[in-house]
Each structure stands twice: as structure tokens, then as C-alpha cells.
């Protein structure tokens, strides 16, 4: 099979050309590798290598059009020759489409029409001077930036090496700290952080108690229920309202302090995280038990607040159970983390 155009740039060639006059592509090697049906046995190590190359050439023929359109061929060559302009235009279109898809598609179609007209009128495709200047500028700026980064890294390495030679004890301590930080948080600690975050999310999720309003029943988050009831009690019993605000603040601060102490990753902080989680769990179990029980004590401020909450909320909802479950999991994982922390020491 005779090829009439360069497979690299699309420039027209003759059968006698061994190198493309436009881009310098090795046409002779290309013909020998893909379009020669007879191969010398001594040239290949395997006896069926010639058949493989012949079949590869037949496979490549499937991708050639029945009749090559010269304009489309020049358009492809233009994209290859002016790759920097094409790249920058692609970035511009992506930014434009993030603001307006219609404007982005209009600009894309306009550029394709412009490219078709330019390639249809010109017989030879060349790299634009603007593309050369842009390529050189990008190469200059990029090389300067990365060279500066490499120089700073070399300076830092040189200084650290000099410091290590002068202060070997400090360097050994730094290496030990780096070694500990590389494996700083275990899966158990990350699980404690995750369950504490779930407690915070559940506190503000709108699937909590079913609250009886004037003429309808609506779903509210635990946070909204506490604030709504505290707002009602503020005018009649300010003490109970204040306690409700404190309860809400504790439910918010408990997970935050648990996460903070787990991230500190010391023995005392792990114990403190476990104690805080245990207090939160015991408190939530008591509240859920009081709200779920049919008999409620009339004495005590907490019992009175629970009665007020029951009279305001029809049911405690799924969020309260999820909050209790997340707190129990946090307590269990933080307790297990203490024992694991002891074993690792």
C-alpha cells in the first residue's frame, strides 16, 4: 500500500520520499515496519514476526478513511503545530463554561468554524509566531519557578545536613518525633473522631422529635427542640430555660473536646476523651430513659424539665437514638484506644 500523506503531520509526500519534507518524519522506517508484506527471516528473532507486522499493517488500514479530506487533514496538523494555543484556548473554554455553558459552546463552535476556514484557504500549515512565543515564555517561567524551588530545597538540605553534623543529639530526637508522627493516628483514633463528628451532625439533623404545634406536627432537630422549649420556658421559668441552654451547650462541646483530646494524642488527653464521652453517654441514657418511661418523677429540676420536654415533644425521634448510639460507640472506641495506647508504649 502506498501512502500519499505523512502520518505525522499530514503533509503530501511521494513514493520516493524517505523523510517528510515538512516535519522530518522517517517515512522509510514507517513503510518498512507497517507496509511491507515480505520480511527477511534473518531480521527477526521469532519466525512469525513478519506475519505479526503484516497483520498490524492490515489493522491500521481500518482507521484510514476511504478518501482523505485535505481540509480535515490540515486542521489536525494545525492542532499539532500550535499545541500551546490549543491548550490555552481549552483552559479558557473550561473557565467560560463554568460561568455559562451556552457561551462556552458558542465560542467552541466559532473557533471550529474559524479553524476550518483558515485550513481550507491555506495549502501549508505552519506554527504561528504567537505559539512559538507562548511556548518559549511558558518554558522560561516554568523552568525559573522549578529551578528556584530546587535551589531552595538544596539549601534546606545543606543546612539540615550541617545542623545534623553539629548537633547529632537534636537530630536523633527530631527523627524520633518524625517517626512517631508518620504513624500518629491509628484507625481506632480516627474512628473516635468519626463517631464524635456524627454526634455533632445528628444534633442539627432535622429528623429529631415530632413536635406538636398549634394545628400540625412537624419534625425538628434536637437542637431546634431544645431551643424552642427553652424559649417557651424563658418567660415562666428562667432556671429551667437556662439548664436547657446549658444542656445544648454540653451536647455541642462534648464531641468537640473529645476530637481535640484525641488529636493531642497524649496519654492524659486520651483518658480525658474517654471520661468526657462516658459522661455524655450516661447523661443521654438517662434523658432517653426518662422520656421513654411512662412514670416520671415530679421532684427535681431535671425531672421537671423532662416532663416539660415530653409535653412538648410527641416522640424523641430517630436523631436522639442516633445521638445515643454515636455516643456509646465513641465511649467504647475511646476506651479501647486507651488500652491500645498502653500496649504500644
Residue 22 pLDDT: 81
Q: Where are any strands of DSSP class E within the chain?
A: 210-212, 217-219, 313-315
Task: Indicate the SS3 state at residue 210.
Answer: strand
Instruction: Give the span between the Cα atoms of 218 and 211, in whole angstroms.
Output: 6
- Single pTM value for the model: 0.44
Residue 214 pLDDT: 41
Instruction: Give the span between the Cα atoms of 91 and 95, in whole angstroms.
Output: 6
Distances from the Cα of 322 to the Cα of 88, 195, 229, angstroms: 51, 10, 21
Residues of the chain with pLDDT under 50: 37-45, 182-183, 213-216, 294, 296-297, 314
Instruction: Note the pLDDT tens digit of each residue in 45-92.
Output: 455 555 555 555 555 566 677 777 888 888 888 988 889 999 999 989
Nearest Cα residue to 334 out of 274, 280, 276, 272: 274
Residue 187 pLDDT: 79
Residue 40 pLDDT: 45
Instruction: Note the pLDDT tens digit of each residue in 295-315.
Output: 544 555 556 666 656 555 545
User: Domain residue spans in the chain?
Assistant: 1-68, 71-127, 131-181, 184-344
Residue 46 pLDDT: 54
Instruction: Collect all residues with Cβ–Cβ distance below 8 Å to 186 and sequence separation of at least 6.
Output: 337, 340
Residue 62 pLDDT: 63
Residue 235 pLDDT: 78
Residue 287 pLDDT: 75
CB 332 within 8 A of CB 221: no
Residue 66 pLDDT: 74
Amino acid at each position: 500500500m502506498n501512502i500519499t500523506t505523512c502520518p505525522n503531520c499530514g503533509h503530501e509526500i511521494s513514493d520516493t520520499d524517505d523523510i517528510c519534507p515538512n516535519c522530518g518524519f522517517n517515512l522509510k522506517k514507517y513503510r518498512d515496519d507497517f507496509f511491507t508484506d515480505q520480511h527477511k527471516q534473518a531480521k527477526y528473532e521469532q519466525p512469525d514476526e513478519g506475519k505479526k507486522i503484516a497483520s498490524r499493517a492490515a489493522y491500521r488500514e481500518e482507521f484510514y478513511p476511504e478518501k482523505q479530506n485535505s481540509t480535515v487533514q490540515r486542521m489536525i496538523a494545525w492542532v499539532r503545530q500550535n499545541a500551546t494555543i490549543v491548550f490555552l484556548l481549552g483552559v479558557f473554554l473550561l473557565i467560560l463554561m463554568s460561568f455559562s455553558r451556552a457561551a462556552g459552546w458558542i465560542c467552541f463552535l466559532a473557533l471550529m468554524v474559524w479553524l476550518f476556514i483558515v485550513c481550507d484557504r491555506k495549502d501549508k500549515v505552519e506554527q504561528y509566531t504567537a505559539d512559538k512565543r507562548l511556548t518559549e515564555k511558558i518554558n522560561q517561567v516554568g523552568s525559573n519557578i522549578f529551578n528556584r524551588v530546587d535551589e531552595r530545597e538544596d539549601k534546606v538540605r545543606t543546612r539540615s545536613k550541617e545542623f545534623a553534623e553539629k548537633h547529632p543529639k537534636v537530630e536523633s530526637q527530631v527523627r524520633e518525633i518524625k517517626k512517631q508522627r508518620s504513624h500518629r493516628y491509628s484507625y481506632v483514633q480516627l474512628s473516635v473522631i468519626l463517631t464524635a463528628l456524627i454526634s455533632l451532625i445528628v444534633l442539627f439533623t432535622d429528623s429529631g422529635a415530632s413536635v406538636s404545634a398549634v394545628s400540625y406536627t412537624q419534625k425538628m432537630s434536637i437542637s431546634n427542640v431544645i431551643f424552642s422549649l427553652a424559649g417557651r420556658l424563658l418567660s415562666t421559668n428562667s432556671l429551667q430555660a437556662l439548664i436547657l441552654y446549658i444542656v445544648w451547650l454540653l451536647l455541642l462541646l462534648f464531641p468537640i473536646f473529645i476530637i481535640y483530646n484525641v488529636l493531642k494524642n497524649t496519654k492524659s488527653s486520651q483518658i480525658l476523651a474517654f471520661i468526657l464521652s462516658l459522661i455524655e453517654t450516661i447523661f443521654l441514657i438517662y434523658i432517653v430513659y426518662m422520656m421513654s418511661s411512662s412514670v416520671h418523677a415530679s421532684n427535681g429540676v431535671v425531672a421537671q424539665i423532662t416532663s416539660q420536654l415530653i409535653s412538648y415533644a410527641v416522640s424523641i425521634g430517630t436523631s436522639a437514638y442516633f445521638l445515643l448510639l454515636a455516643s456509646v460507640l465513641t465511649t467504647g472506641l475511646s476506651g479501647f484506644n486507651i488500652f491500645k495506647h498502653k500496649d504500644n508504649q
